[in-house]
Structure 1
Amino acid sequence: MKRVFKIIAWTFFGLVISLFALGALFMYKVQNGFPVSYETEKPLLTLAENQPAILLFSKTTGFRHGESIDASKPIIQAMAKKNSWSVFETEEGGVFNEEQLAKFKLVIFNNSTGRVLNDEQQLALEKYVENGGSLMGIHGAGDNSHHWDWYVDNLLGTTFSHHPLSPQFQKAIVTLEAKVDSSLKAKLLATWEGNDEWYVFFNQPKDAQVVYFIDGEKILPSGNMLWMKDKNFGMGKYHPVAWHKTVGKGKTFYTSMGHSKEVWANPAFTQLIEQGILWSLRN
């Protein structure tokens, strides 16, 4: 009988160790990316003439927000039809070359996570923005999986730390910043309720104009789990969730909202995305 108990105990112990190891491997991959391949072949671009062109890029090599990505595409395409934009959707990095990027007014990293471009493609995007192009990032585009200093500095102006885990999704009142650009202020709701995975960054975004913020003291910000014991902090009362920056002759726009497909069913959020695109397309 004792032998049976020992076998059961060791089997249970082995399962616990295996699950722990798998969890640790998964967390490492989320932060550092899964195996990466870089596409270099230039795609055939089909863009409507006389319409601002948008590159909707949804490649992931880190955590994939698949439901949010899938929900976003028809909504952004509907916006494009309404506003006479031409949208090219891809998860292939080959389009990130100087010649083809020049055809777009805006590049959207649509919950794009991990290292998704090679060194040459990254440099092409950097030059594109600094020479007058626009870059927008949605939610996962701002996590810490990209390992690209220029991108972190110029899309975010701050560094991602964690997101709450208990609970992961929380309701919060999203408030429009009083100093926001008048063209945005006239089109965006002053306040609305969001239910999202609220990203916590180490600092306020540097050299950025905040568009929306929440009261960080009214959410539970802790991201502690297993071996992580130092992720119990938030950003304080003023917790930005959308902002924009000037980068050389170009500009960037980022929102940390957008984790789930349900977020795309909120008209206030989709209004932010639409107005953010319109702002990004302006010369």
Structure 2
Amino acid sequence: MFPIIKKIAMWTLLGAAGFVAVSLALNWDLIQRVYLGGKHVYETVPPPLPAQIKRPAVLIFSKTNAFRHEEAIPAANLLFARFASDNGWSSFQTENGAVFRPDILSRFDTVLFNNVSGDVFTPEQQAAFKTFVEKGGGFLAIHASGDSSHKGWSWYTNEVIGTNFIGHPLSPQFQKATVIVEDRTHPATRGLPADWSRTDEWYSFDKPPRKPGYHILAALDERSYKPEGIFGMDLHMGSDHPIVWWHCVGKGRALYSGLGHTAQSYAEPAHQAMLLGALKWTLKLEGPRCDSCKRCRGPTLRT
């Protein structure tokens, strides 16, 4: 009997080890991105760009070295390309970080981060992007572009996003919540209802980005959903939980929206209208201007 039991135990262990090995192999990319500090892939040769890029022009960037929003990214890319086509703008979509060099960025008016995650740039590429924004370029960042995977780049986290992501609900992950639209005059939020009910994955931050120069467009009513994260982590920010805001970074315009985890988000008419208005603002087609330099703390609000 004992030899048989030993054989059964051995084959059980071998089967379990094989199952673990296969699972690791099949999910290795996700494991690297989420549990092992992210991937470290940096491009040095840019892709071919069109010889002529008509202005205004949008650079749509969706590289991910950390968690990848597999469904949302293509849906958002299609939507932003349609915005450009419908409005007579140029757009170029890439996941190649080598486009972030001065001569290429100078051909665009706005950079759009579509759920960009992780450490995606070389130091030279970071410097080129920083100069682009501070000297007057537009920047629109969506959802994961403001998560904690960017924490190694202090300028981006502190000066562009303006706060630190701490988590999102997991019980359940996607919840219906009320978005309180605080400013209904900005191009991004013009026409939205004062209380906007929708379903998404809701981000929490270590502090509200309510500081000089920052302008909150929309905030979450925490009474309308359950801000509880992994292992019951308390994600409450209290009565002040901003989720969409803009500010000036030098002469550049920057807007961050925590909305947009799911592909379905980019089919919602109200969300589409918000993103189109945000893009128009970063392209300097509508809304408040950013005329001050260096570190803007009081933008010139002229239209």
8 Å contact kept, 2:221–2:239: yes
2:105 alignment partner in structure 1: 101
Task: Find the counterpart in structure 2 of residue 267 from structure 1.
Answer: 269
TM-score, structure 1 as length reference: 0.86
**Cα distance change of structure 1 residues 26 and 39 upon mapping to structure 2, 3 Å threshold:** closer
Q: Does 1:223 align with 2:229?
A: yes
Residue of structure 2 equivalent to 1:191: 195
CA RMSD across the alignment: 3.0
Query: Partner residue of 2:299?
Result: none
Matched with 1:176 is 181
The one-letter amino acid paired with 1:237 is S
1:47–1:88 CA contact under 8 A, matched in 2: no
Distance in 2, matches of 1:136 and 1:79, equals: 14
C-alpha contact 1:67 1:260 (8 A) present in aligned 2: yes
Provide the secondary structure at the position in 2 that maps to 1:78. helix
Asked if structure 2 preserves the Cα contact closer than 8 Å seen for 1:47 and 1:87, the reply is no
* CA distance in 1: counterparts of 2:115 and 2:282, whole angstroms: 18
Superposed CA offset, 1:203-232 (max 9, x none): 10143211112202322111123xxx6x22
In 1, the alpha carbon distance for the partners of 2:81 and 2:210 equals 32
TM-aligned CA deviation for residue 49 of structure 1: 4.9
Counterpart of 1:122? 126
What residue in structure 2 maps to residue 209 of structure 1? 215
Highest CA radius of gyration, 1 or 2?
Answer: 2
1:185 Cα offset (Å): 4.8
After superposition, where does 1:48-197 map in structure 2 within 5 Å?
49-146=53-150, 147-178=152-183, 181-197=185-201
Q: Secondary structure at the match of 1:252?
A: strand
The one-letter amino acid of 2:280's match is L
Are 1:30 and 2:44 an aligned pair? no
Long gaps (5+) in structure 1: none
Amino acid at match of 2:84: A
Equivalent position SS for 1:174: strand
Change in CA separation of 1:47 and 1:133 when aligned onto 2, cut-off 3 Å? farther
Alignment partner for residue 232 of structure 1, among 211, 231, 234? 234
Bigger relative contact order, structure 1 or 2, given CA contacts below 8 A and separation 6+?
A: 1
Change (3 A) 1:118 1:188: same
Give the secondary-structure state (helix, strand or coil) at the position aligned to 2:243: strand
2:136 alignment partner AA? G
The 8 Å contact of residues 216 and 245 in structure 2, kept in 1 or not, is answered as: yes
Unaligned stretches of 5+ residues in structure 2: 290-303
Indicate the SS of the match to 1:241: strand
Q: Are 1:32 and 1:145, in contact at CA under 8 Å, matched by a contact in 2?
A: no
- Provide closer, same or farther for how the CA distance between residues 59 and 49 of structure 1 changes in structure 2, counting only shifts above 3 A: closer
DSSP-derived class of the 1:214 partner: strand
Residue 246 of structure 2 is aligned to residue 241 of structure 1: no
